[in-house]
Amino acid sequence: MVSREVVVNSSTGLHARPATLLVKKASSFKSDISIEFKGKKANVKSLIGVLSLAVTRDSKVTVIASGDDEALAVEEISKLIESME
């Protein structure tokens, strides 16, 4: 299992468009990938799950992956979250 804490830079947080991009990216990995925010955890491959966290701008989230490509998954998902504006 690999995890990393990242800051959400997107002006809308992880809502609608940013969440959709995140789910698409996560779906390209074999690993189980989740995101944790304020004690709640959601599967990043589930749009409803990501939206249910209601992550806002400048929030810190933890990306967690477990599986064959876990290190790459955490790296790529973290980069995507940090690069969204």
Both structure tokens of 73:
């998954």
What's the CATH number where 7 sits? 3.30.1340.10
Residue 4 to residue 71: CA distance in whole angstroms: 10
Provide the domain count of the chain. 1
Report pLDDT digits (tens) over 15-56: 999 999 999 999 999 999 999 999 999 999 999 999 999 999
Residue burial 11-38, b: 16+ Cβ < 10 Å; e: rest:
eebbbeebbebbbebbeebebbbbbbbe
CA 7: distance to chain centroid?
10
pLDDT at 85: 84
Q: Across all residues in the chain, what is the average pLDDT? A: 96
DSSP state, residue 60: E
Instruction: From the candidates 15, 51, 66, 72, give the one annotated as an active-site residue.
Output: 15
Is 61 catalytic? The answer is: no
Q: Domain of 34?
A: 2-83
